[in-house]
Amino acid sequence: MSAADNRFAKPREKQFEFDSAVAGVFDDMLVRSVPRYLESVDYVADLITRWIDGGKVVDLGCSTAALLLRLNKINPNLTLIGVDNSAAMIRKAKEKSAAFSANIEFITADANELSFDDVDAISANYLLQFIRPPKRGEFVKKICGWLKKGAIFIFSEKLACEHRKLDKILIDRYYDFKRVQGYSDYEISQKREALENVLVPYNEKENKEMILDAGFSFAECVLRWNNFATFAAIK
In a domain, 54, yes or no: yes
Expressed as residue numbers, the domain containing 147 is: 20-234
Residue 43 is predicted with a pLDDT of: 97
Domain CATH for 229:
3.40.50.150
Residue 25 is predicted with a pLDDT of: 67
Residue 157 is predicted with a pLDDT of: 97
Tell me the percentage of the chain whose pLDDT exceeds 90. 79
In a domain, 4, yes or no: no
**Could you report the per-residue pLDDT of 165-202, keeping only the tens digit for each?**
999 999 999 999 999 999 899 988 888 888 888 899 99
In a domain, 228, yes or no: yes
In a domain, 1, yes or no: no
SS3 content of the chain, % helix, strand, coil (to 5): 45, 20, 30
| pLDDT score of 11 more than 80 | no
Residue 62 is predicted with a pLDDT of: 96
**Structural domain tally of the chain?**
1
In a domain, 9, yes or no: no
In a domain, 216, yes or no: yes
Residue 22 is predicted with a pLDDT of: 56
**Could you report the per-residue pLDDT of 201-227, keeping only the tens digit for each?**
999 999 999 999 999 999 999 999 999
Residue 45 vs residues 22, 32, 81, 131, 172: alpha-carbon distances, Å: 24, 20, 14, 24, 30
Residue 149 is predicted with a pLDDT of: 98
Q: Exposed e or buried b for every residue in 195-210, given b needs 16+ CB within 10 A?
A: eeeeebbbbbebbbeb
Residue 195 is predicted with a pLDDT of: 83
* 0.95 surpassed by pTM: no
| pLDDT score of 20 more than 90 | no
Residue 190 is predicted with a pLDDT of: 87
In a domain, 84, yes or no: yes
- Confidence grade of residue 12 (pLDDT, cut at 50, 70, 90): very low
In a domain, 102, yes or no: yes
Query: CA-CA distance, 157 to 123, in Å (whole number)?
Result: 12
**Could you report the per-residue pLDDT of 50-109, keeping only the tens digit for each?**
999 999 999 999 999 999 999 999 999 999 999 999 999 999 999 999 999 999 999 999
